[in-house]
Amino acid sequence: MTEFIDVDVRPILRAGGEPFSIIMAALERLEPGEGLRLYAPFKPVPLFEVMASRGFAHRAAELEGGEWEIRFMPDDGSVEAPEPVFAASSEGDWPEPAVHLDNRDLDPPEPMVRILAALERLAPGQTLSALLSREPVFLFRELSKRGHQWRGGFTPQKDSYQLTVRVQP
């Protein structure tokens, strides 16, 4: 049986904070074989990739009120590992976005075109933030092909998707 260390990021997010470093710090403290149980106000999809790249499989369960409990456990090979992508590197904080885009009212695939066009004009290491009406599933492929990194997830109200992309340094 996997022992779980609990991390509740709901108060941090409600206070407008950034829980990423706290999750990573908790991860550093895990003993071999231990897992991490995370409570979040929304499904932290981008985190799954980060955790997968560190050898953790996950099981997500929705709680009352749209909140989520996610158990990350050391992947012993029983769960198929997702393909490696360049998503969301864990290295430190990214610079403030140089460009903000609100693409919520654009017809698909226009949001994707604008994001890629804006990225072409950014210098290496700069970031862009975009609001979208949906998860841009076809965009991620293009981002990883071009070597960009990204973090993203639905806003707590679930009415839009917040994406931050960093141009390959």
Select the residue interacting with another protein from 102, 141, 147, 155 (CB under 8 A).
141
User: Contact letters (x/-) for another protein, 11-50, by CB under 8 A?
Assistant: ----------------------------------xx-xx-
Kindly give, in sequence order, each residue whose CB lies less than 8 Å from that of residue 48, ignoring residues fewer than 6 positions away: 58, 82
- Residues 107, 111, 112, 117: is their CA dihedral positive or negative? positive
Query: Could you tell me the two tokens for 34?
Result: 């231990």
Coil/strand/helix, residue 34: coil
Classify 77 in phi/psi space as left (phi over 0), alpha (psi -120 to 50) or beta: left
Judged by CB under 8 A, does residue 119 bind another protein?
A: yes
**Rg of the Cα trace of the chain?**
16
Distance CA 45, CA 152 (A): 8
Find the binder of another protein among 110, 125, 147, 155 (CB under 8 A).
110
Q: For residue 12, what are the contacts with CB-CB under 8 A and spacing of at least 6?
A: 18, 19, 22
Q: Check residue 85 for interaction with another protein (CB under 8 A).
A: yes
Q: Determine if 117 is a binding residue for another protein (CB under 8 A).
A: yes
The reply to whether 97 sits near another protein by the rule CB under 8 A is: no
Q: Which of 5, 30, 118, 131 binds another protein (CB under 8 A)?
A: 118
Task: Name the minimum Å distance from CB 133 to another protein.
Answer: 6
Residue 112 binds another protein, judged by CB under 8 A:
yes
Binding site for another protein (CB under 8 A): 45-46, 48-49, 60-62, 80, 82-83, 85, 87, 104-105, 107-110, 112-113, 115-120, 133-135, 137-145, 150, 152, 159
